[in-house]
Amino acid sequence: MSVDAARRARYLEALGIDLWVPRVAPARSPAVANVAPSAPPDAVAAPARLADPTGPGLVEGLHALAEGAAADLPVAADWEGLRAQVRACTRCGLHRGRTQAVFASGDPAARWMVVGEAPGADEDRLGEPFVGRAGQLLNAMLAAIGLPRPTVFVANMLKCRPPQNRDPRPEELAACRPYLERQLELLRPTLLLVVGRIAAQNLLGTEAPLGRLRGRVHAVGGLNLPAIVTYHPAYLLRSPSDKRKAWEDLKLARRVFGELASGKPP
């Protein structure tokens, strides 16, 4: 653990904060050392599909093999390289249906980072995260705690849109994970705001329901980055009665950020 991470861990301990230990340990690159993917990439499904060399499964199986091999490639070490790598990524099958990969938005020196689930149709078209209706609500949520959207770094667990906005698959999350890990390393935000069950469970390596993940500060990855979990804005659009609870989460996030930024224990 680096001096920085150790200091942060001591600070988080003083705050009574959980340190989450990932369920599985394997690391594909230095960037994924502490937050493990929940499943290996695509290639594992290939042998069954390859069994009939005359059927359509052959091509699919070869794609899966190629994608699995790509998942072992190292991840670029700087913003420019990482952005280019994400743009050209073929680590999982989602690249075939995308208009473009959605890297992130916001200030690369931001102290706040929002982590969402995956691009939707608007994001796929425009190449930016959270630009649709959910994005408008996210902007309002951030503004409510005094954060203009451009001052916040916003990224998703997945960089490519799942078809019909279905839930991300474990192998897609695993394939994309090194990109998010590198984004965390390069940004080193003071606080992460994790929106929605899928992002929260995957980032924290837990199956606990969202309700149990709210209301406290988690520490993510080898850097022990502090993280607060709240509802996904798309969920809040469907269930506006939970906006009150989201507001509680946002106030907690603002308070914790203030404490972390000031360097004073609460």
Residue closest to 89 by CA, chosen among 26, 193, 224, 180: 180
- Between 32 and 236, CB nearer to ligand URA: 236
DSSP 105: B
Q: Is there a contact between 95 and 188 (Cβ–Cβ < 8 Å)?
A: no
Strands 191-195 and 225-230: parallel
- Between 17 and 236, CB nearer to ligand URA: 236
Residue closest to 224 by CA, chosen among 204, 209, 194, 198: 204
In angstroms, the CA 183 to CA 90 distance is 18
To the nearest whole angstrom, how small is the minimum distance from the Cβ of residue 4 to ligand URA?
Answer: 29
Phi, psi torsion values for 99, nearest 5 degrees:
-80, -45
Q: Which residue is nearest to ligand URA (CB)?
A: 116
- Between 43 and 200, CB nearer to ligand URA: 200
Strands 152-156 and 191-195: unpaired
**First vs last C-alpha separation in the chain:** 24
- Between 35 and 118, CB nearer to ligand URA: 118
Sign for the CA dihedral angle at 102, 40, 68, 94 comes to negative
Helix (H, G, I), strand (E, B) or coil at 199: helix
- Between 12 and 250, CB nearer to ligand URA: 250
Q: Is there a contact between 230 and 246 (Cβ–Cβ < 8 Å)?
A: yes
Q: Is there a contact between 92 and 42 (Cβ–Cβ < 8 Å)?
A: yes
- Between 71 and 195, CB nearer to ligand URA: 195
Helix (H, G, I), strand (E, B) or coil at 96: helix
Interacting residues with ligand URA (CB under 6 A): 116-120, 123, 129-130, 134-135, 156, 234
Q: Using N-to-C axis directions, what is the helix angle for 243-262 and 133-144, rounded to 10°?
A: 50
In angstroms, the CA 180 to CA 158 distance is 8
To the nearest whole angstrom, how small is the minimum distance from the Cβ of residue 256 to ligand URA?
Answer: 22
- Between 117 and 171, CB nearer to ligand URA: 117
